[in-house]
């Protein structure tokens, strides 16, 4: 059960301890107070945990400061909308991420050399982009493939990001120890940039790792859906992150494993953007690079990666993760799917065209009702 307080009721309100005391009068009920950033306002919410089925909502609805009482199902308790809650948003390093914003995070799939990193961040800066991807810890299918430079690259990676005005870098972690390595290197860099911890598709059900990123609140989390599990299973896994206390989460679609998607690397699942936005309070990211897996062009001259990105954006995606590389033929991971740095401005132009189309669609739908 979630008790949503009225908009002007802050965490310091005198009614909150009274509501909590009332909640605790029911056997086995415990409470958590969360301050959530909604789309347009800050919200204080009191979560009742335990056997809330027998707790009557009216008891709390009578309080002057309560806006509404929402019964939640067992599923997605913390990330779910439960047909009644508004979307959540968060601001990190001056970047607001929400179900009504859009940010592009281009970058290296795997950081390989300092020169390639500098060239990439410089290209982003020229394009006016402050958000990037950069993989230092790479989960690879074969143990003989490049596993990433690990913590060794973090000092110069963060320094380069800071130098080029990059505010957030999404970076996959494959082991709990990587979280502390990143935090330490970031602190040593003088807080040069922000980091969003990425959970890769292969670790979507690594529950101990999910708990570890969820129990820290310093860094937001980008959770990628599992490639071979249902959407519901992925949402349940993502709930592990939120239930640990970290509510700054973005849910990422990256295609699912099926030969039915061939010749693309994965079957593109961006029809789920609106589904995830409806079922959860989370902003939704799409990763066209790992979905398509190849830098190939359509008959119309647009790359498949552009087309697939457009599919995500035209349906309301809030974030795009896209691989770029200054020399894809030299890349140590996923070179064949990387866009060239020269293609970035065109990609961003295409993104802007599609975002405008999405906004027009929403405005037209509102005008019809």
Q: How far apart are CA 314 and CA 359, in angstroms?
A: 8
Q: Which does 211 bind (CB under 5 to 8 A by kind): Mn ion, ligand PEP, none?
A: none
Size of site (CB under 6 A) for ligand PEP = 10
- Judge contact between 72 and 80, C-beta under 8 A: yes
172 binds Mn ion (CB under 5 A): no
Q: Which does 257 bind (CB under 5 to 8 A by kind): ligand PEP, Mn ion, none?
A: none
Q: Compose the 289-328 pattern: x for residues touching ligand PEP by CB under 6 A, - for all others.
A: -x--------------------------------------
Task: Considering only the stretches 4-12, 101-109, 151-159, 345-353, report the one whose residues sit in contact with Mn ion under the rule CB under 5 A.
Answer: 101-109
Q: Compose the 270-289 pattern: x for residues touching ligand PEP by CB under 6 A, - for all others.
A: -----------------x--
From candidates 160, 174, 201, 354, binder to ligand PEP by CB under 6 A:
201
Of 46 and 338, nearer to ligand PEP (C-beta) is 338
Task: Considering only the stretches 72-80, 225-233, 307-315, 330-338, report the one whose residues sit in contact with Mn ion under the rule CB under 5 A.
Answer: 330-338
Q: Which of residues 208-227 bind ligand PEP (CB under 6 A)?
A: 224
Q: Which of residues 98-127 bind ligand PEP (CB under 6 A)?
A: 109
Of 109 and 209, nearer to ligand PEP (C-beta) is 109
User: Smallest distance from the beta carbon of 348 to ligand PEP, in angstroms?
Assistant: 19
Q: Which does 71 bind (CB under 5 to 8 A by kind): ligand PEP, Mn ion, none?
A: none
334 binds Mn ion (CB under 5 A): yes
Of 66 and 134, nearer to ligand PEP (C-beta) is 134
Of 135 and 194, nearer to ligand PEP (C-beta) is 135
Of 4 and 339, nearer to Mn ion (C-beta) is 339
200 binds ligand PEP (CB under 6 A): yes
Q: Which does 200 bind (CB under 5 to 8 A by kind): ligand PEP, Mn ion, none?
A: ligand PEP
- Using alpha carbons, list the distances in angstroms from residue 35 to 7, 11, 308, 318: 11, 7, 36, 22
109 binds Mn ion (CB under 5 A): yes
Structure tokens that stand for 345 in this block: 């401005």
Q: What is the 3-state secondary structure (H, E, C) of the chain?
A: CEEEECCCCCCCCCHHHHHHHHHHCCCCCEEEEEEEEECCCEEEEEEEECCHHHCCCHHHHCCCCEEEEECCCCCCCCCECCCCCCCECEEECCEEECCCCCEEEEEECCCCCHHHHHHHHHHHHHCCCCEEEECCCCCCCCCCCCCCCHHHHHHHHHHHHHHCCCCEEEEECCCHHHHHHHHHHHHHCCCCCEEEEEECHHHCCCHHHHHHHHCCCCCCEEEECCCCCCHHHHHHHHHHHHHCCCCCEEEEECCECCHHHCCCCCECCHHHHHHHHHHECCCEEECHHHHHCCCCECCCCCEHHHHHHHHHHHCCCCEEEEEEECCHHHCCCCHHHCEEHHHHHHHHHHHHHHHHHHHHHHHHHHHHC
User: Smallest distance from the beta carbon of 254 to ligand PEP, in angstroms?
Assistant: 4
Where along the sequence are the contacts to Mn ion (CB under 5 A)?
109, 334
Which residues contact ligand PEP by CB under 6 A? 109, 135, 172, 200-202, 224, 254, 287, 290
């Amino acid at each position: 059960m979630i008790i949503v307080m009225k908009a002007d009721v802050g965490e310091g309100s005198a009614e909150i301890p009274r509501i909590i005391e009332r909640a605790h009068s029911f056997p086995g009920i415990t409470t958590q107070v969360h301050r959530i950033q909604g789309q347009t306002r800050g919200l204080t919410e009191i979560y009742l945990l335990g056997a809330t089925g027998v707790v009557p909502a009216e008891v709390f609805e009578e309080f002057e400061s309560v806006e509404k009482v929402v019964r939640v199902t067992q599923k997605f308790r913390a990330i779910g909308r439960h047909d009644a809650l508004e979307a959540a948003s968060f601001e990190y390093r001056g970047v607001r991420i929400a179900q009504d914003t859009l940010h592009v995070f281009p970058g290296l799939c795997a950081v390989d050399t300092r020169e390639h990193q500098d060239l990439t961040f410089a290209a982003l800066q020229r394009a006016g982009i402050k958000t990037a991807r950069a993989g230092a810890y790479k989960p690879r299918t074969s143990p003989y493939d490049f596993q990433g430079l690990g913590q060794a690259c973090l000092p110069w990676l963060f320094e380069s990001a800071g130098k080029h005005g990059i505010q957030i870098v999404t970076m996959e972690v494959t082991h709990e120890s990587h979280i502390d390595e990143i935090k330490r290197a970031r602190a040593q860099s003088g807080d040069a940039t922000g980091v969003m911890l990425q959970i890769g598709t292969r670790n979507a059900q690594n529950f101990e790792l999910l708990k570890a990123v969820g129990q820290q609140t310093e860094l937001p989390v980008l959770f990628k859906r599992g490639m071979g599990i249902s959407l519901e299973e992925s949402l349940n896994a993502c709930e592990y992150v939120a239930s640990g206390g970290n509510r700054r989460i973005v849910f990422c679609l990256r295609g699912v494993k099926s030969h039915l998607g061939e010749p693309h690397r994965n079957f593109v699942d961006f029809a789920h953007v609106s589904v995830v936005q409806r079922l959860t309070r989370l902003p939704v990211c799409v990763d066209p690079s790992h979905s398509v897996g190849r830098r190939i062009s359509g008959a119309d001259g647009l790359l498949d990666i552009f087309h697939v990105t457009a599919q995500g954006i035209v349906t309301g995606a809030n974030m795009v993760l896209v691989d770029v590389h200054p020399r894809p033929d030299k890349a140590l991971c996923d070179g064949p799917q990387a866009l060239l740095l020269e293609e970035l401005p065109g990609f961003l132009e295409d993104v802007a065209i599609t975002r405008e189309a999405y906004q027009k669609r929403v405005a037209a739908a509102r005008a019809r009702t």
